[in-house]
Amino acid sequence: MFDLVAGFAYSQTLYAFVESGLLDLMTAGPRTKTDITSHVGLSLEATERLLRAAASLKLAEPLGDGWWALGAEGAALSGNAGAIAMIRHHHLLYTDLVDPLGLLRKDRAEDGALSRYWSYAGSPDAAHADAEAVSPYSALMAASQPMVAEQILTGYRFSQYERLLDIGGGDGAFLGALAEAAPELALGLFDLPAVAERARLRLGAAGHAARTAFHPGDFTSDPLPTDYDIVTLVRILHDHDDDAVARLLASIRAALPPGGTLLIAEPMAGTPGAEAMGDAYFGLYLWAMRSGRPRRPEEIGAMLSDAGFSSWRLVRTRQPLIARIIVAAA
């Protein structure tokens, strides 16, 4: 119980370790406490307190004679751009959670720190959002996408398909990874106009634009392309409320040919060993974001059946905490 009470102090120690530049500094090699003090801009006493706190979480470790190095957890975090980006943006969620009951009493339409960060999504004017509006969230999703893409690409075989459409594909991070893994697959990306343009630039720089069709639009209201035999939704459903999900699934079912496939990949509620991640973390995160909810696989399956899909199944992933996969047949 005390660990639950102390959890915020642990997370803030992690945030301070990253935001102060300690992680970057110590990634380059061991440093003396004097060097670290100068780098982080704290007093010697405060630096000592931060280092000891980080060491208790295995982010750092003392080497003796005033030298410090990365600990086991710090070494694992080093170079993980997705995890670092998520850590840095969580101060927005923590701001909203200062008064959790106040947050839960708020109408879903009321602004908070996290919802303002994600302000373009869910807006009636989403299709007209400009590059500045979509940039922060798109960049965060792109940074954290590799760990999700790895779960998908090691868990499912795409060589059986000819044309794949990634709906809500962001700036193309998943399609970029897929393009390398399945070089014969024709690709398509559907997202808001400003987001699709970011994807065009990213995939163009990687040499994949020629094999990718870009479809600008709002998937909550615009018709979907119909010439794809598989559609992917990567971290999309849990960001949207039930009515929007039901419309999207029905639209995908109508767009797929007989025998077509829908692949859904995202963290899901009820994941064995990660139950708290689903309902305590994502439940409150998505409430603060003003849209979506964590769903169990069977809840998604029921929505797929309602949308007209003939069957669905779970596909095993190596790290289900990061993403589970559901495959549905049209």
Residue 134 — very low, low, confident or very high, per pLDDT cuts 50/70/90? low
**pLDDT tens, position by position, 165-184:** 999 999 899 999 999 999 99
Q: Kindly report the CATH class assigned to 2-79.
A: mainly alpha
- Tens digit of each residue's pLDDT (9 = 90 or more) over 191-225: 999 999 999 999 999 999 999 999 999 999 999 99
Backbone phi, psi, residue 11, to 5°: -65, -35
Q: How far is CA 68 from the centre of its chain?
A: 32
Residue 196 near residue 215 (C-beta atoms within 8 A): yes
- Residue 69 CA to residue 59 CA, distance in Å, equals 9
Residues 328, 221, 176, 173: is their CA dihedral positive or negative?
A: negative
Torsion of CA 157, 160, 166, 169, to 10 degrees: 40
- pLDDT tens, 26-74? 999 999 999 999 999 999 999 999 999 999 999 999 999 999 999 999 9
How far, in Å, CA of 280 to CA of 75, rounded? 27
pLDDT at 124: 52
User: What is the pLDDT at residue 110?
Assistant: 73
Predicted structure pTM score = 0.88
Per-residue pLDDT band for 112 (boundaries 50, 70, 90) equals confident
Q: How far does CA 220 lie from the centroid of its chain?
A: 20
Per-residue pLDDT band for 243 (boundaries 50, 70, 90) equals very high
Round the average pLDDT of the chain to a whole number and report it: 91
CATH number of 82-329: 3.40.50.150
What pLDDT sits at residue 329?
Answer: 98
The token duo for 285 is 């995160």
Supply the DSSP symbol for 268: -
pLDDT for the residue 128: 52
Which residues make up the CATH 3.40.50.150 domain(s) of the chain? 82-329
DSSP of 298-309, one letter per residue? HHHHHHHHHTT-
CA distance 266 to 236: 7
Question: What is the identity of the amino acid at 44?
Answer: L
Residue 125 has pLDDT above 70, yes or no: no
Q: Where exactly does CATH 1.10.10.10 map onto the chain?
A: 2-79
Cα–Cα dist 88/90, whole Å: 6
Q: Are strands 60-64 and 67-70 parallel, antiparallel or unpaired?
A: antiparallel
| CA atoms 197, 170, 257, 228: torsion sign | positive
C-alpha neighbours within 13 Å on the C-beta side of residue 99: 6
Identity of residue 174: F
